[in-house]
Each structure stands twice: as C-alpha cells, then as structure tokens.
C-alpha cells in the first residue's frame, strides 16, 4: 500500500482549508488596474461585518461604491467560484472512481453540452432576462439533467449500465449536442446581434463575470445535495475501486449505486454549468493531485478534492480578473490544467491512480 | 515524489505572496487620465468644386482608383454606406445592398447581397457593378475577398468625424457628386456645431457609457465616431479606450446614462452590484442606438440621433417641444435624465 505514507500527512485538510480562506480573502481584496477606489483588507472586513445580521455595525468607513464592489460584485463571485471549483472536483472524483477511468471528468457524460445548449436556446430566444434573469440558469440546469437521463437510458442495456457504454453514449450525445450549440452560435451570428453571440461564447468559455448572489440560490441547494449523496456513498466508492464484480460480491447494489453517483455528479455539474458555463480541466486534474496528497480513501479524498478544486478555481479567477483584464476563468484553468495533467502523466501518476 | 505535499504547499505560499506583492504594486498603475480640451466642431465650410472626369481618387485605404465616368451600377455592402449613397442622391444607381440596410424605405426593397456576416460574393460579382462601396470599420474580410475577385472596391472609413467627412468628400469626387458631398458635410457639421453650442449652456456634463455586450463589457472610447458624438452632445464618456470595461470600474465611474441596444437593457439591469450604485441602472436611463441606428451611422440621420442624445443628456437646455431653451438658469442641475 503505497499511499499509506501519504495518508499520514495529517494536516493536509487544515492546510488546504487555510489556503482556500487566504485565497478568498486575497481575491476579495485585490483590485484590478485602473480602479481608483481604494479597497484594503480592512475595508473588506468592515464591509462584510456590516452585512452580518448579528454583529452588524453601521460602519461609516465604507462608501456605497466600496460596498457595491466588495459585497455586490466580489463576494458573490469569490464564493460562487470556490463552490464551482469544489463541485467540479467532487464530481470529477466520483466519475473517475466509478467509471474506473483516470481520463473521466464531469463533462464526459454530456451534461455540460446539454446545459450549454439550454443556455444558448434561452439566449437565442432573447430570454436571458426572463424570470428575473433566472430563466437561463434554470433552462441550463434542466437541459443538463435531461441530457443525463437520456445518456443513462441510451447506455443501459438489459438493465445494466457498463462503464464503457456509458462513456461512449456520453461522448456521442455530447458531441451531437455540441454541434447543435454551434448551430445556435451560427444563427445568433446571422442575427447580427453581437451580444447574443458573446453570451453563448462566454458560456462555452466558462466565466464568472456576471455571477451574483442569485446564482448561489441555484448552486447551493444542488451542490449540498450532491455532496451529501456522494459523501454517503464514500464506502461504496472505495469498494468500486476493487472492480465492479468484487464490489457486487461485497454487498454493493451496483446498479442502484451507479444511478446515485450519476445523479449526484450530474446535479453538481449541471448546477455549475448553469451559473458559470463550462470550466474545463478542474474536474479532471484536481482529483489526481488530491489522490497524491491523501490517497485513494474517499473519506479523505472527497473533502480534499473539494478544497483543492475551490483553491484552483478561486486562484484562476483571481489571476484572470486582476492581471489579465477579465480573461475568462475557463480559459485559464484549461491553460494551466492541460500542462498539469501532462506533468502528472509523465510522472506515471495517472496510471497509478 | 517524497516532497510533493510540501511542493503544493510551497506553491500556494508563492501564489499568496506574489498575489499580495502585485496587489500592492498595482495601485500605482492607473492608466493616464485623458485631459483633452472640450471639442468644438470647426466652423469650416466645404467649398463645392464641380465634378471632373476622368478623375483619380484614393479611398481610405490609400488605394488609388481611376474613374473615366461616374459609376452607374453601385453595390453597397454596409447600411452606413447605403445611407450615405442615398444622401448624395445616388439612390437610383444602387443596384443591391444588405439585409441590414433599413433606411431609407427604398433601400429595403433593393436586391440584397446578404447580411453582415454571410455576404454572397458570387451574387455581388454576378451583378457586375461599376463600383462596390464598403465600410472599412465593419467590412474588413469581405473587402479583401471582393478585391481578389477583381471588383472595384471603394472603402469608406468613418471611424471619427474628421475621417467621416474625408470619406464622403472622396466618394463625392469618385461619383461626380462633389456638390452634394459638400452640402451633406456642411449640413451635418452645422447641426452638430449648433448642438454643441446649445449643450454648452448646460452647467453640467453627464457621464455616459456605451455598452455593446454584458458577457464582456465591450465599449467605445473617446476616439470613435460615437465617442466624438457623445462629446458634441455634452456627455463625458467614462471609457478611456476601446478596451472592454471592468465591472468594478463601472461602479466606480457611476455613468448616468448608458447607450446600448434595447435588447441589452435587461442584461445590464441584472449586472451584479450595479443596481443602486450605477445611476443609469438605478434610474433606467438607457439611450437606445439600435432602434433606428441613427447615432452609429455616419450620414444625414446622424443629425437626428445627435439631437435626440443631446436632448436626453441635457433636458434643462431644451424646451418641452424640443427646441433649445431661450435662456438658461446657471448652477441648476435639475431635470437630469432619469428623474
């Protein structure tokens, strides 16, 4: 058992949690170039305490502009970013473990393509402001869950869902749906309304610009439900690592178990795509790094992956927002993620998962 | 391998340190504030020169073309160009235009060669035009393809007011409409000069932002046609350049009026942190460009657009029937747009 030495690293969770908190504080305090309003960590602190119900102090040191920037723009963005990173990494762990495939990521199942199409359809219909702006994320979420149901139905043969058919069905379905999204882009382009094309593209690139407190109303319930379902299934996930047959012999109802994992993973993924678009590579690379840190036991792997995912996404968004003039976070994670994955592959870590 | 846990931790420490270092250093990196004097539309009059043929005319790209006679069959590949051609009285010579050409009424009934992004090059060639007139600010790709297909392409470049006049002047020489071109330029310039004189009586400047998209905050800076028109109409453009804006800067600059298309209004309203702090959003003070596109097309209708914008920004110096007010109370900032 090669990983026992790793698992002895006792403070991994504590270090990760501390790092996440520090990165969140930096991303809320750091201003991009060209902002005259001074926002210091103490402004941030005053601003946050003034919004807390119990210790609310009507601090006169925070101006309305500072409050709008910190509480209205940066806080929801930082929290949503961390939550999205957590959910993607968590879903990545679940899909990699139960498909027994180190290449698996939350988007393999066609959920992301479905969600993106749902968004694109609403944007194309000119409804990005319907239902107080919630129409687009809700449609994306619904389309993502619908895709999950379709792919699962497509892959199930004689009541049994094999990992290989599931991957294939997800790939085929995802490719097809993505081509429909490209059709949507082409139609939007012909309407010569550049804002529609821009909105669909920003969904595909994955961006946290435009995230508000409202976004968390969709993300939080789905995310907490999914995290709870996966954490409850941590023992079965461990057993699945021995192979589906062994797991079945050890008393796991594998078909029901798979349904639960797919449902939880899709809930998490569809919710993230609904609020932030498709953010690549976090769900694929972070679980591998987490495995290196704490080993394959899902009791520690799930929370560590989540924390690490939150760190990676928050840091990427911070970099893009402050130093690259608002570059989409999905572009940054992809640019950092692919080399990181390549490095892990070279070190033969992927094959040792 | 043995120290990879430590390596990850070290990486985090580095990110944190660099983050703080950069965050501190960046405060001194503000872009320089542009402090140009208020623009005044020059009181220059165009002197009409009778048309001459044959004539050699260079277009905005510097390419020289020889015209033996005035072109009889003209294809327009941009709505702005179509309007200028009709303004010059060349409407009868326009044989085709684009789907997006919506003014004047006659332009909508002409054969179309496609939309902004899907022009049918074969159809343009098959019409055998004497001249294709293009807008260099929107037609970049199709211009090269048309030139490669052997068409005579005259490129206008209306990216600033001065370039706009020059393009019209040259088009006038090429088409034998020098008198009409001079008249058009004088007409627009007189009206803009009038507007700028009227709005200068208003004691305040209104902060204005142009917005084309909310996914990325695309805007127009001061050195653009719309940027110059905002100045003429007594507005202050908050964008220092054409680079996309940052949501936080918008909150800080607090624009009082947003110029955008009506489709975008709902998306602007749900931008996080803007409602309550950005006066334009709080007061729903949106000025729409796309309804009749009057503000973004360099042609006679620009006068209408500029007039509407000036009245929107400075209702205090216009009477209720839209005429300039006879006299103005100074020091009053009442009657600003959006209550």
Q: Which residues from chain A sit within 8 angstroms of residue B277, using beta carbons?
A: 64-65, 68, 72
Top residue of A192, A308, A327 to mutate, by most chain B CBs within 10 Å, is: A192
**pLDDT tens readout for residues B110-127:** 999 987 677 888 899 999
Residue in chain A closest to B19 (alpha carbons) equals A26
Residue stretches of chain B with pLDDT short of 70: 1-43, 116, 290-293, 320-339
CATH 3.40.50.2300 fits B55-176, yes or no: no
Chain B CB contacts of A35 below 8 Å: 246, 248-249, 252
CB-CB under 8 Å, A325 with B15: no
- As annotated, the residues of chain B forming the CATH 3.40.50.1980 domain(s) are 55-176, 193-317
B50-95 pLDDT, tens per residue?
888 889 999 888 889 999 999 999 999 998 899 999 999 999 999 9
Q: Tell me the C-alpha distance between A142 and A136, whole Å.
A: 10
Contact state of B22 with A325 under an 8 Å Cβ cutoff: no
Contact (CB<8Å) B249/A34: yes
Show the 3-state SS of chain A: CCCHHHHCCCCHHHHHHHHHHHHHHHHHHCCCCCCCCCCCHHHHHHHHHHHCCCCCCCCCCCCHHHHHHHHHHHHHHHHHHHHHHHHHHHHHHHHHHHHCCCCCCCCCCCHHHHHHHHHHHHHHCCCCCHHHHCHHHHHHHHHHHHHHHHHHHHHEECCEECHHHHHHHHHHHHHHHHHHHHHHHHHHHHCCCHHHHHHHHHHHHCCCCCCCHHHHHHHHHHHHHHHHHHHHCHHHHHHHCCCHHHHHHCCCCHHHHHHHHHHHHHHHHHHHHHHHCCCCCHHHHHHHHHHHHHCCCHHHHHHHHHHHHHHHHHHHHHHHHHHCCCCCHHHHHHHHHHHHHHHHHHCCCCCCC
CA atoms of B215 and A120, how far apart (whole Å): 13
Beta strands B131-135; A160-161: pairing state: unpaired
Mind listing the pLDDT tens digit of every residue in chain A (353 residues)? 444 545 455 678 888 899 999 999 888 888 887 777 788 888 888 888 888 776 666 656 778 888 888 888 899 999 999 999 999 999 999 999 888 888 888 888 788 899 999 999 998 887 777 777 788 889 999 999 999 999 999 988 888 888 888 889 998 999 999 999 999 888 887 776 667 888 888 888 999 988 888 889 889 999 999 999 999 999 888 888 888 888 888 888 888 888 899 999 999 999 999 999 999 889 999 999 998 888 889 999 999 999 999 999 999 999 998 888 888 999 999 998 888 888 887 876 555 54
Instruction: Tell me, yes or no, if A207 comes closer than 8 A to chain B by beta carbon.
Output: yes
Nearest to B30 among A34, A193, A311 (CB): A34
CATH superfamily of B193-317: Nitrogenase molybdenum iron protein domain (3.40.50.1980)
Q: Do the Cβ atoms of A155 and A288 come closer than 8 Å? A: no
Q: Which of B4, B12, B261 sits opposite A292 (nearest CB)?
A: B4
**Do residue B244 and residue A64 have CB atoms under 8 angstroms apart?**
no
Which value, to the nearest 10 degrees, does the dihedral of the CA atoms of residues B200, B202, B204, B206 take? -80
- The alpha carbon of residue A248 is apart from the nearest alpha carbon of chain B, in Å, by 34
The residue length of chain B stands at 339
- Least Cα distance to B294 among B303, B310, B305, B306 occurs for B305
What number is the ipTM of this complex? Answer: 0.78
Taking the domain A4-346, which CATH number applies?
1.10.3470.10
Report the first-to-last Cα separation within chain B, whole angstroms.
Answer: 66
Asked if A9's CB is within 8 angstroms of B246's CB, the reply is no
């Amino acid at each position: 058992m090669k990983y026992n030495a790793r698992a002895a690293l006792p403070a991994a969770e504590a270090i990760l949690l501390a790092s996440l908190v520090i990165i969140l504080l930096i991303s809320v305090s750091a201003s991009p170039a060209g902002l005259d309003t001074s926002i210091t960590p103490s402004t941030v602190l005053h601003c946050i305490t003034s919004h807390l119900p119990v210790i609310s102090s009507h601090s006169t040191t925070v101006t309305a502009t500072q409050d709008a920037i910190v509480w209205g723009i940066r806080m929801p963005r930082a929290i949503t970013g961390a939550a999205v990173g957590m959910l993607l990494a968590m879903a990545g762990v679940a899909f990699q473990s139960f498909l027994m495939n180190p290449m698996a990521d939350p988007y393999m199942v066609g959920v992301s393509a479905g969600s993106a199409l749902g968004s694109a359809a609403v944007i194309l219909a000119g409804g990005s402001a319907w239902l107080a702006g919630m129409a687009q994320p809700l449609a994306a979420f619904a389309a993502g869950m619908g895709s999950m149901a379709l792919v699962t139905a497509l892959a199930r043969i004689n009541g049994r869902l094999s990992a290989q058919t599931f991957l294939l069905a997800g790939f085929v379905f995802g490719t097809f749906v993505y081509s429909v999204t490209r059709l949507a882009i082409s139609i939007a382009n012909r309407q010569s309304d550049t804002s529609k094309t821009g909105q669909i593209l920003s969904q595909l690139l994955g961006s946290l610009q435009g995230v508000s407190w409202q976004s968390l109303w969709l993300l939080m319930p789905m995310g907490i439900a999914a995290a709870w379902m996966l954490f409850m299934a941590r023992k079965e996930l461990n057993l699945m690592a021995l192979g589906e047959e062994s797991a079945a012999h050890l008393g796991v109802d594998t078909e029901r178990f798979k349904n639960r994992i797919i449902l939880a993973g899709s809930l998490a993924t569809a919710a993230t795509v609904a609020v932030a678009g498709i953010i690549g590579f976090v769900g694929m690379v972070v679980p591998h790094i987490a495995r290196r840190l704490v080993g394959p036991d899902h009791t520690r792997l799930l929370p560590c992956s989540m924390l690490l995912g939150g760190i990676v996404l928050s840091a990427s968004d911070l970099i893009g927002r402050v130093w690259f003039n608002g570059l989409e976070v999905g572009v940054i994670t992809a640019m950092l993620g692919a080399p990181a994955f390549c490095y892990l592959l070279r070190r033969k870590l992927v094959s040792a998962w | 391998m043995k120290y990879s846990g430590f390596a990850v931790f070290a990486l985090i420490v580095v990110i944190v340190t660099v983050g703080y270092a950069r965050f501190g250093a960046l405060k001194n990196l503000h872009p320089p504030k542009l402090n140009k004097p208020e623009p005044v539309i020059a009181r220059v009059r165009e002197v009409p020169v009778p048309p001459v043929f044959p004539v050699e005319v260079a277009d905005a790209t510097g390419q020289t073309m020889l015209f033996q006679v005035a072109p009889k069959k003209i294809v327009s590949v941009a709505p702005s160009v179509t309007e200028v051609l009709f303004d010059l009285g060349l409407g009868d010579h326009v044989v085709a235009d684009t789907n997006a050409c919506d003014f004047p009424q006659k332009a909508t009934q002409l054969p179309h060669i496609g939309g902004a992004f899907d022009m049918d090059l074969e159809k343009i060639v098959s019409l055998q035009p004497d001249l294709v007139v293009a807008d260099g600010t929107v037609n970049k790709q199709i211009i090269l393809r048309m030139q490669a297909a052997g068409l005579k392409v005259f490129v206008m470049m209306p990216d600033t007011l001065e370039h706009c006049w020059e393009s019209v002047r040259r088009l006038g020489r090429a088409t034998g409409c020098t008198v009409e071109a001079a008249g058009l330029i004088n007409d627009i310039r007189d009206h803009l000069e009038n507007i700028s004189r009227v709005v200068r009586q208003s004691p305040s400047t209104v902060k204005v932002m142009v917005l084309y998209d909310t996914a990325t905050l695309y805007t127009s800076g001061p050195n653009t046609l719309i940027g110059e028109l905002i100045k003429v109409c007594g507005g202050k453009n908050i964008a220092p350049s054409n680079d996309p804006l940052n949501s936080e800067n918008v909150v800080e600059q607090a624009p009082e009026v947003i110029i955008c298309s009506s489709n975008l209004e709902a998306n602007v309203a749900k931008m996080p942190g803007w409602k309550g702090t950005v006066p334009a959003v709080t007061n729903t003070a949106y000025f729409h460009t796309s309804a009749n596109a009057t503000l973004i097309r360099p042609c006679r209708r620009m006068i209408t657009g500029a007039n509407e914008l000036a009245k929107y920004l400075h209702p205090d110096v216009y009477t209720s029937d839209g005429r300039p007010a006879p006299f103005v109370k100074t020091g009053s900032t009442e009657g600003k747009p959006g209550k």
